[in-house]
Amino acid sequence: MGCGASKWKDPGVVRRGRPRSVGEVVVFLPGLRVPRTVDFPQSLGDHLDTSTVERLSALRATVVTMAMQESAMALKPRRRTTRHGGSGTANLLQALEEYLPVLLGLVKESSDLRNKVQFVWANQEDDSEETSMADAWYEVLSVLHLMAMVCFLQANSLLLPRSYGDGQGPRVSEESRRATVDVFLKAAGYLDCAVNQVLPQIPPEKRRALPVDLVEGNLKALSLQGLGQGVDMQLGLAIDNPKATLAVKRRLACEMVKYWQQIKDSIPELPLSDGWAKKHTLFVKWKYAEAKAAAYYFHGLILDEGNTEKSQEMAISSLQASEEFLKESKRASKAFHSTPPTSRTLISATRVARSNSALTFFVGKFSY
């Protein structure tokens, strides 16, 4: 993923091999795309005033430096969670937010600057391959994609268990889980904008040359993933809230099923020739089965409140179906973590009630 027909090699970039492990994963993303240096003065010096060209150069140079640093951190399996997904990603996101409005000046309706600059990006999975395109809309699309992936990195960091020195062991705080809801929605919004506002601006022949990371199906799948994992967090919070009704929990679980079904329908459109794509597919399979386990579980509890023999039988059937989907999700989770680049499971069964994931609530909870 990340390779296109038009390739450019920067002799100053040190090539890295693909990582064997990516450490602790709660939120999966198929590799960061990082920008390579471009020469704005050479391309735009005769078309824009010097101050604007210098501002574009400075803003993009900052993005390039920060993105490469964050990409390197993302490939370290033993990184400290206080750093990865922390101030580094926040600074990168701010740099991208400052760069984007200035960049949009190149794609104004009356602008003839759109095709003046050759923009180059690479994927961290294989940075010996770069995709180059002389279209400022390609740059806008790449920036929005990176902004969404940075949000996913932030969410992953927030959802890694931490010790609070209170004797209760490592856990994910309620504050962190609440914060991730907004982060996931922000990521989904960036990707939705990319699909509906930016992609239509790129001519069909150029769209066919886009790297697979930026094809419509993948962008839609990742946008839906942001929405689905945001609902997952809301369900986890509802599970911990004694005032939340079973109907609310079932509704949230059913929303998760809807999102992961739609994601599952998009993923087969993507090539599975490398480990990252296979790992992404297994992640979707894991979360989809987990969502169905949740939906059947809460539906079964609601049916169990009925007083008729039929409702009791239906409740048992629903809980049995939930248990089967739970087993399926655990198998998919194991396959996901063992697929190269390998990752680590975070939560043990002894801490299930306090976890951020709906799956952990079900372990040992069936009684029928």
Alpha-carbon distances, residue 61 vs 11, 89, 215 (angstroms): 17, 16, 26
| 21-24 vs 130-133, strand pairing mode | unpaired
Q: What is the pLDDT of residues 35-64, one digit of tens each?
A: 999 999 999 988 889 999 999 999 999 999
Alpha-carbon radius of gyration of the chain: 22
The greatest distance separating any two alpha carbons of the chain, rounded to the nearest whole angstrom, comes to: 82
Question: What angle do helix axes 216-240 and 174-193 make, rounded to 10 degrees?
Answer: 160
- Distant-in-sequence, close-in-space partners of 23: CB < 8 Å, separation ≥ 6: 76, 77, 78, 79, 343, 344
Q: What is the pLDDT, as a whole number, of residue 141?
A: 98
| Domains observed in the chain | 22-75+86-344 (1.25.40.280)
Using DSSP, state whether 70 is helix, strand or coil.
helix
Residue type at position 214: L
Which of 226, 172, 171, 174 lies closest to 195 in space, CA to CA? 226
Q: What is the pLDDT of residues 294-303, one digit of tens each?
A: 999 999 999 9
| 84 band by pLDDT with thresholds 50, 70 and 90 | very low
Tally Cβ neighbours within 10 Å of residue 153. 25
Give the lowest-confidence range in 79-83, 273-277, 283-287: 79-83
pTM of the model: 0.85
Q: What is the pLDDT of residues 98-154, one digit of tens each?
A: 999 999 999 986 678 899 999 999 987 665 578 999 999 999 999 999 999 999 999
30 or 273, which is more confident? 30
Indicate whether 363 pLDDT > 90: no
**Strand order through the sheet with 119-123:** 33-35, 119-123, 130-133
